Structure 1
Amino acid sequence: MDDLSPPEAKSVSAGVEYVPFGIPGLDGAVRGIPTGSAVLLAGAPDAGSHAFLYTSLASLALAKHEPALYPRRLGDAREAIPERVSYVSLTHDREHIYSELDAVLDSEQFEILTDHLTVADFSQQFLSAVDVPASLYDQRREDVPAPTEDDDSGVAGLLDDVTLPDERSTETDDADDVSALLDEISEYVADSGDDAILVIDGLSDLLLATNFGLDRSAVLGFLLGLREAVVGWDGIAYVVYERRAADVRSDPDIHGLLHGSVFFYSNDQGHDTYRTMRVGSFGGALDTERQTVFESSVGPAGLRAKATKKIGPSNW
């Protein structure tokens, strides 16, 4: 393989496009996410990773499809934002996801995001694969009202537009095998990840499945494959990992495996919870000798960030 000359190498670097985070207070402070990057969102369940995710998805959908309503100027960065969102959920059903979106976002953000969102709900298959008693979950989807032509209630109509993953796997002989489930998820990701913001929610569920026969090496292989695949896509991937940020950073298998990361922290202070977040490496794109700590808060239009201080690497 021939090495690139310095001018050629410089032209490759100059051609990298960056997708904004879509988070007020964070965009402008950091450059953004290079297209073709897989991003780990890691933190305890109450630390703000999902609020960050929902705000980012909605803000980018607004910037892409309704730029006149987006409060900040993006210039050429708007062109790098993918057209759609492909959301893969392992343990949360669609109704739960849409309800959470509605709780975090304002109506404008909710509508523009759901117009360009596909949710692949693997929750029923996951529960079956990890041997949860069928009597505890097999009636759940039957409880969702069937959409009608004049139904304008929101959730039911949204559910009608999505191909159910379990409908794609009726011919699978070993559907209860968690390894087969991971293979099916991988196939779905390969088919739907290109030119999209891909969401894998969540890595903690895949690692939980290692207690039910899935090899940890298979989970790491999935992440490595995702990292490789997204490089060739005109988009980005978010991988949600609900685990304390300090624990993730001390896990040599996970920490640094993807292209970049955002870590979320929470500390109780009296009756309030103080939340912060920190942006990790994107192949050097966001690295500095001192990293910025962002205070985060959730308001009527989702999560906002405010730079508070800089810390050295040893303080992460």
Structure 2
Amino acid sequence: MIRVGTRGSLLATTQAATVRDALRGLGEEAELVIVNTIGDKVSGPIVEIGVGVFTSALRDALLADEIDIAVHSLKDLPTAQDPRFSLVAVPERKDPRDVLVSRSGFPLAELPPGSSVGTGAPRRVAQLRLARADLEIQPIRGNLDSRMRKVATAECDAIVVARAGLLRLGRAQEATEVLDPAVMLPAPGQGALAVECRADAAASLVEILAKLDHEHSRVVSAAERAVLADLNAGCSGPVGALARIDAQTLRVEAAVCAIDGSRVIREEAEAHLVGPELLSESHAVALGRRVAESLRSMGAMELVGAVQGEPGLS
């Protein structure tokens, strides 16, 4: 029996269930094990709580042999490698873009001035302020259901959330607008899952889990996370990144924004890959680092550091 560890929220268990079901499809016995995490218990901003708030308890459960694998949202997984664990699979990624859910049905460009838009992510806050300085940003936290209710109960005029979450819960039709990455670059790794096990896990388990890996999803996510890692930004940084593979070209676009929307630094780069290097993770990481280095040279670190003093962001 493969014990699949997950947070207890509806979205987390739904995501983990796709991994469990994929394992069952391979003829393996698998079951979900709910692990309570600090991120589910506290109400403070993630920027204050710290990176890895949603992953540490799952990792502790791995080390305690309470679970065999942990399923994370890849965007929540720290970019710094921990030698105790191994990222063995990135299943096929859902749409990484963000969406606007508005009570009025108006898209972002048509929301009336002064409309309240709920989000706590510094990346989203900064890009919203850049696009619409006349909106009121309302810091919110909570699972996807609770965020959606804030629109239904008129606590917010609109919210910004990840489209992947709505897709996984069968609620994609509730989105008012899929936000163009030119307006709202997603979080690095958004829409992807991470299947993690102990570094000393049995080779037979690793071999099974490797069958869940989606090469394209792993490569583009690696490029995006390389940007984040090189900027030392963490999941709470005002950093957006999106990597795409078209034909034999890998493109990486990234942006770092001032939290007040007064400044944005954007950069993109591409690599033309051929033969077996087409989906090389190492080449993707190198390209992501190249983008990050360019952002650094334009003053990105000043913007990354500024978010630490902003209250109410998560």
Class of the TM-score when normalised by the shorter of the 2 chains = under 0.3
| Structure of greater Rg | 1
